[in-house]
Amino acid sequence: MIAAPKIFENHLAEKNESPDFFIQQFYVECLSTFSYYIESKGEVAVIDPLRDIHQYIELSKSRNAQVKWIFETHFHADFVSGHRELANLTGATIVYGPTAVASYPIKEAKDGELIPLGNVQIRVDHTPGHTMESSCFVLVHNGKDHSVYTGDTLFLGEVGRPDLAVKVGELTVEMLASYLYDSLRNKVMTLSDDVIVYPGHGAGSSCGKSIGAGKCCTIGMQKKNNYALQDITKEEFINQVLKGMPKPPQYFFHDAKLNKNGANDFSAILNEVQKALTFEEFMNHVKQGALILDTRPNIQEGVIKGAINVTFMSGLVNFVGSIIKPETRLVIIGKDGEAKDSIIRLLRIGYDNIFGYLEGGFEAYKNNGGELATQVQLVGLEEFCNINDNPDDHVFVDVRGVVELRETGFVKGAIWIALPEIEGNIDKIPKDKKLHVYCKSGWRAKIAMSILVRNGFERIMITQDGGFEDMWGKKLIEKDNM
C-alpha cells in the first residue's frame, strides 16, 4: 500500500458522471498539469498520471474499481510519470500511441484502435507533432465521441510546442510543426463541435507558448477561438507557432529520458529524501558539494550565502528546472511543512538527488552561525530606483524574458540577461558596480540575486515592492524600448 504524502496544491478539478461512466480530472498547480481518471463498470483508465500516484489508487479503492489501463499521450518532458509504479501496483497495462518505444513493457496501440473499458471505449487517435508518438484519446460512449484527452497536442487557446523532439539530421522543428498542423486538421478538427476537450496542461505551463486559462472546453469553442485552428496555410501555422517560442527549461530533456527508460518509484524514494536534518548534518552535505535551495518567500531576515533562493510560492519547479541541473545534489531550507512539499514538487520533475531539509528552517541556520551575505540590500521601490548619489556607480540588471521587454520596454541603460541565461553570462555583468536587479514582480530578481552572490558579487540591491511596471508607473525611472 502506497502512503499518501501531504500535498498542499494537488486537488480535484472537473468531474463528469453518467450512468455508464465517471470522469475525474486532477490538477496540480505547480506544474499546471491535468491528469484523468475514467471509470466504467468497475474498470479504470488513468491518463497521464503524475509520479505521486496515491490519488488514483485511493479513488479507485473508494469506488471499488480496478485500474486496468494507463494511457500516456506521449513521453512527457515536464514531469516524471508514475505509469510504471501504478502498473506494478495494479497490474494495469501501459498504453502509448504508434511509434512509441520504451525500455519497459507497453502496449503500442494502432491509430484508430478502440480499447474497451467497461461500457465505453477509448479510441487512440495518433496526432504526431508535439512528439512523434503523441496521441489523443477519445472516450466513445454508445458509438458517439464524448470527450477527447489531448495531452500536449491541443490546449485551450494554444497547441503544444513542436521543438522538443528534434533529431539532428532527421527531424527539424519545422517538420514537427508541419506534422502538428496535419494532426490538428485531420484528427482533432474532424471531431464534433460538442466533444469536450480535456487538455494536458493549463495556463502557466512551459509546454505551450501561451496556454489559456480554464480546465476544459469544447471542440467547437476551440475551432472558434484558437488561433492554430483557423483557416490558415501550413506555412502561416508554422510561423505563428514558432514565433516568440521561449527556450524549454533544461530539465525537459532529462525528464523525457526518464519517462522512456523508467524512473525510481516515488514511494520508494520519498522517505529517503524527505527527512529532517540537524544543522551539522545539513552543513556536512553543503561542505561535500550540496547546493542549498532556499524556498523562503521573505528573505528580509537574511540572505543565505551560497544558496539559490527559489520561492516556494513562485513556480518552484519551473524556476528550479530552468536554472539548476537535474543531477545537482540539494539540501532544502524553508518552513518545515513547505520544505517537505518542496521535495515532493522536485521529485515530480525528477530532481531525486536530495539529502533532506534543515529542521527548524532559517532560524536554526542563523542561530547556529550559518553564513549570510551581508552586503545585499532589500529596499523599497523608491530607494531601489535612486541612483542620484553617483549614477556611474550603478547598473540596472533586467532578468525578464525578451517578450516582456518588447511589450513594456526596460530601464534606460540596463543590462538585459534573461534569468535562465545568467549563469552563462556572468562575465557581462560588472563586479565593480552596485547592481539593481529587477524583473516584473520581484520573484526572478531574488533568484538572480542569489546566483550573483554565489558567483562572488557583493553589492546587489533588490526590491520586494514590485518590478519594472511599478517603477515606470510611478515615473521613478527612464525607459528604453526594443
Per-residue pLDDT tens digits for 456-476: 998 999 998 999 999 999 999
Other residues' Cβ atoms within 10 Å of the Cβ of residue 421:
14
- Local structure of 138: helix, strand or coil: strand
What's the confidence (pLDDT) of residue 13?
65
What's the confidence (pLDDT) of residue 9?
42
Q: What phi and psi, each to the nearest 5 degrees, are found at residue 281?
A: -65, -45
C-alpha atoms less than 13 angstroms from C-alpha of 276 in its C-beta half-sphere:
9
Q: In what order do the strands lie in the sheet with 308-309?
A: 276-277, 354-358, 330-333, 291-294, 308-309
Per-residue pLDDT tens digits for 132-146: 999 999 999 999 999
Percent of the chain with pLDDT over 90: 85
Grid coordinates of 266: 516515488
Q: Give me the residues of the chain with pLDDT under 70, please.
A: 1-13, 314
d(C-alpha 154, C-alpha 197), whole Å:
8
Residue pair 405/365 in contact (Cβ under 8 Å)? The answer is no
What's the confidence (pLDDT) of residue 337?
81
What's the confidence (pLDDT) of residue 11?
53
d(C-alpha 451, C-alpha 459), whole Å:
13
Q: What is the 3-class SS of 147-205, one letter each residue? A: EEEEECCEECCEEECCCCCCECCCECHHHHHHHHHHHHHHCHHHCCCCCEEEECECCCC
Per-residue pLDDT tens digits for 48-103: 999 999 999 999 999 999 999 999 999 999 999 999 999 999 999 999 999 999 99
What's the confidence (pLDDT) of residue 15?
72
